[in-house]
Amino acid sequence: MLKKTILLKMMICSLFVTNIIAQQSNQSFNLADAIKYAQDKSISVQQAQLDYNRSKEQVREYTSIGLPKASAFIDYNYNINLPTQLLPDFLTPAIVGTMERFQVLPAGTSANLPVGQPQPVKFGTNNNLKFGVNISTLVFDGSYFVGLKAAKGLVAMTSKQTELSVYQIKYNVIKSYLTVLIAEENKKTLEKNIENLAKLANETKAFQKSGLIEQLDVDRIELALSNLKSENEMVARQVELAYNVLKFQMNYPIEEKIELTDNLNALMEPASEADLNESMNYENRIESQILKQSEYLNDLNIKRYKMAYAPNVSAFFTHQYQVQRNNLFEKDEAGLFPITITGLTVNIPIFDGFNTDSKIKMAQIDKNKISLQIKQFETGVALELSNARIAYGNAKQRLENQKKNLELAEKILNTTKIKYREGIGSSMEITTAEQELYRTQANYMNALYDLAVAKTDLDKALGK
């Protein structure tokens, strides 16, 4: 009995843990959560963020060019053979001349001396040791300061590119999310149709058993029900595909379950009058901001090349100690000799073979290309916005028409069923009315999807 009790408790705990795991793996997302999840998990966004971080390090790298540099050094040489220099015999004439002045030798003796041979003389000591510090810094370089602005501008550029990646992820997730909701709505509609048609099939069978209708009427409705079930299976696969696309856009594990909590109607916000009529503000588009930033960076590039014609100045300072001894560790020999040097270096460009001039002209050509890209982009956005507004208006009108058609198709089917139950209608009329209803429902769902996509495209065109 005790073993059975323990086994039962283990089974209950196992089921409890399994249920918790299932709940954890089946995550729920509204549209805002799905967008945030996708942006956090997106590989492209992560890559853009890494590019942004790298650009900040590039600014630090470039800034270091103008900061003081300090280094320490140790230089040791051991002269196995000391350097030797041949010197003329300047000692003998000097000694003889001195002796002549003191009248030790008769006057004129030095004039009659023979020319002496050069004498080999060794200079230096066996051990030479130097150690000290070097400090240098850039004092003035016009191209450096312009380049520093350009480096910071690059950070702003990569930040905008990160925003563009985030923006594109949001657009893709919204479309995929709406696709899933519409596919789910379509599946619910089909299941409701199957339920209604199954009730009608049961009624028809009862009428046939009573002898009120023929077997042919039963077969027609059974065939319609079978076709509807086959279509429902196909729609179920479409729903699964839509979920997989959404998971892919979110970078969510394909094998795990996902649940959407937003309602389709709640997401179908109508476009405002401003969205449909006001002129386009191109600055709202991140692509425009990136192009303008590229233009700004190109202007800085031209300025940087022009500043290369100006002189640049750098300063340096060196302090070192030198030890020259035959025995490096002999304290009685000469000690440390300090050496301190400071100064400026001025570099004045005169002629570089038109190298800088070519760079300036190429940068100006690049600027003209960017200006053309901006014009082309604005023309494309104007066309995109115009088409998006037209598509939205058409989709909205089509949805209104399909809504009226759906109400009419439902009314026709209900009237046909009443006539059939009263014995003044046929199963053929019911089948035809059912098919018209299903076709109208499909048209309505397509119109609903088109309106959702058109609104999303309109928001994208406006840069919202």
- Render pLDDT for 238-265 as a digit per residue (tens, 0 to 9): 899 999 999 999 999 998 998 998 887 7
Measured over all CA atoms, what is the biggest interatomic distance in the chain, rounded to whole angstroms? 170
Split at pLDDT 50, 70, 90, the class of 386 is very high
Q: Looking at residue 344, what is its pLDDT?
A: 92
Tokens of 101: 């002045």
Radius of gyration over alpha carbons of the chain, in Å? Answer: 46
> What stretches of 308-333 show up as alpha helix (H) in DSSP?
none
Please, what is the Cα angle at 326 between 321 and 329, to 5 degrees? 65
Identify the residue with better confidence: 15 or 416. 416
Q: Looking at residue 115, what is its pLDDT?
A: 60
Distances (CA, A) of 208 to 201, 202, 215, 253, 430: 10, 10, 6, 52, 16
The 10s digit of each residue's pLDDT in 178-187 is 989 988 888 8
Split at pLDDT 50, 70, 90, the class of 22 is very low
Terminal Cα distance for the chain, rounded: 68
pLDDT value at 8 more than 60: no
Q: Looking at residue 109, what is its pLDDT?
A: 64
What one-character DSSP code corresponds to residue 279?
Answer: P
The 10s digit of each residue's pLDDT in 97-142 is 677 676 666 766 666 666 666 767 777 788 888 999 999 998 888 8
DSSP 64-125: GGGS-EEEEEEEEEE-SS--EEEE---HHHHHHHHHHHTTSS-TTTGGGPPPPPPEEEE-S-
Rounded percentage of the chain residues whose pLDDT exceeds 90: 26
Identify the residue with better confidence: 146 or 13. 146
Weakest mean pLDDT among 102-106, 137-141, 377-381, 415-419:
102-106
Local structure of 187: helix, strand or coil = helix
